[in-house]
């Protein structure tokens, strides 16, 4: 798609609905090619700079494997080894990397940083997660729902429970508005997306016909939902001290068997991952001890281990959708 060539993807509103659908279609084609061993290498000789101010498993894996499978290369810059922030401005970093790389991915705290990189770069800049948005994750989530439901996205009902004033909640709301989807947030009001973002989403929804709902009732949120999404209750960069308050607020929104039973028949569970579904991680254990609970925080281990969980398909789809974003923005194909 020529319109995507050279364009940055710093937030969902950078793309039109048609461009979202194009990227999904390209990702489906690329996934088929990868699986059948017939993948054409389109990014031979191309390089991508991957800047990680925050940690990552899936995003880094998706970008690095996508470039390798497409015949290109990638370089990871992390906060311990790069000059960005300490010794070199964001603008200068963008100008330097643009001279050597064909695209730049940024993961970090501030949305302003990724937008400043994009404003000063001559190559596409892709947001690999900020506190405000996680746009590349949206494409993987849309693809996973479409594949699982075997029907158009516009005919689906889905919801998101938990901390909704963070990247995942914000991104779902605005993406659903752009694509005209039926989407509900279930969260305490203090953790809803900020008023300006809700207003922007509602304004877009008026034109696209999206049906957006926000409720404080977890059971109302999951009612008729074919896909129940959640995310960690405390995100990267937040202090440990917020765990107690967050658990108290969000425990009623925990995705457990009972809540899944209130969703549509055969509803699927989704999570961008990593998830605290047991006490086998340092942070998961500490938080569970603090809460005096076991067997999972935002999702219980029985739901996570059940057939309803499609979070690993979702994780795999990060690869195929990332590849589509890279090919479309670098080559305009």
Any idea which residues carry the catalytic annotation?
107, 134, 137, 231, 272, 318
| Of residues 56 and 170, the one with the C-beta less far from ligand CP | 56
Q: Does 74 bind ligand CP (CB under 6 A)?
A: no
Residue from 8, 10, 56, 309 that binds ligand CP (CB under 6 A)? 56
Q: Does the footprint of ligand NVA cover residue 309 (CB under 6 A)? A: no
Q: Is 57 in the site for ligand CP (CB under 6 A)?
A: yes
Residues found in the chain: 333
Q: Shortest gap between Cβ of 140 and ligand NVA (angstroms)?
A: 11
Question: By C-beta, is 1 or 173 nearer to ligand CP?
Answer: 173
Closest CA relative to residue 225, chosen from 187, 191, 265, 197: 265
Which of 98, 127, 166, 329 touches ligand NVA by CB under 6 A? 166
272 touches ligand CP by CB under 6 A: yes
SS3 call for 9: strand
Any contact of residue 300 with ligand NVA (CB under 6 A)?
no
Cα–Cα distances (Å) from 104 to 7, 46, 241, 315, 329, in that order, read 11, 12, 33, 21, 11
Q: Site for ligand CP (CB under 6 A): which residue of 58, 157, 229, 268?
A: 58
The least CB distance from residue 50 to ligand CP, in Å, is 11
Rounded to a whole number of angstroms, the minimum distance from the CB of residue 217 to ligand CP is: 27
CB-neighbour burial class of residue 6 (10 A; exposed 0-12, middle 13-18, buried 19+): middle
DSSP-H helix ranges across 80-179: 90-100, 111-119, 135-149, 167-179
315 touches ligand NVA (CB under 6 A): no
Whole-angstrom distance, CA of residue 197 vs CA of residue 304: 31
Whose CA is closest to 146, among 299, 287, 24, 46? 24
> Can you tell me whether residue 132 is helix, strand or coil?
coil
Q: Does 273 bind ligand CP (CB under 6 A)?
A: yes
What DSSP character marks residue 103?
A: E
How many positions of this chain bind ligand CP (CB under 6 A)?
Answer: 8
The residue ranges that bind ligand CP (CB under 6 A) are: 56-59, 129, 137, 272-273
- Binding-site ranges for ligand NVA (CB under 6 A): 129, 166-168, 231-232, 235-236, 272
């Amino acid at each position: 798609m020529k319109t995507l060539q050279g364009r940055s993807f710093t937030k969902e509103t950078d793309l039109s609905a048609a461009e979202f659908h194009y990227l999904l279609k390209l990702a489906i084609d690329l996934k088929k090619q990868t699986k059948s061993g017939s993948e054409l290498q389109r990014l031979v000789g191309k390089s991508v700079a991957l800047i990680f101010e925050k940690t990552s498993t899936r995003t880094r894996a998706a970008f690095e494997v996508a470039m390798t499978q497409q015949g290109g290369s990638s370089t990871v810059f992390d906060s311990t080894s790069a000059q960005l922030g300490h010794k070199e401005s964001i603008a200068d970093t963008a100008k330097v990397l643009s001279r050597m790389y064909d695209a730049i991915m940024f993961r970090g705290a501030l949305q302003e940083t990724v937008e400043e990189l994009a404003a000063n770069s001559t190559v596409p800049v892709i947001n690999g997660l900020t506190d405000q948005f996680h746009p590349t994750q949206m494409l993987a989530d849309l693809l996973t729902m479409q594949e699982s439901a075997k029907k158009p996205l516009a005919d689906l009902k889905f919801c998101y429970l938990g901390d909704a004033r963070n990247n995942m909640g914000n991104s779902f709301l605005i993406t659903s508005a752009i694509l005209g989807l039926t989407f509900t947030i279930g969260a305490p009001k203090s953790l809803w997306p900020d008023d300006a973002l809700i207003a922007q989403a509602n304004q877009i929804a008026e034109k696209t016909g999206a049906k957006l709902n926000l409720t404080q009732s977890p059971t109302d949120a999951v009612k008729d939902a074919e896909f129940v999404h959640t995310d960690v209750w405390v995100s990267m960069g937040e202090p440990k001290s917020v765990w107690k308050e967050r658990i108290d607020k969000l425990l009623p929104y925990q995705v457990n068997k009972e809540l899944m039973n209130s969703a549509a028949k055969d509803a699927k569970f989704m999570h961008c991952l990593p998830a605290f579904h047991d006490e086998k991680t340092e942070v998961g254990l500490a938080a569970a001890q603090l809460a005096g609970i076991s067997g999972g925080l935002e999702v219980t281990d029985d739901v996570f281990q059940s057939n309803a969980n499609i979070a690993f398909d979702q994780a795999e789809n990060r690869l195929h959708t990332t590849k589509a974003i890279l090919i479309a923005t670098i080559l305009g194909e």
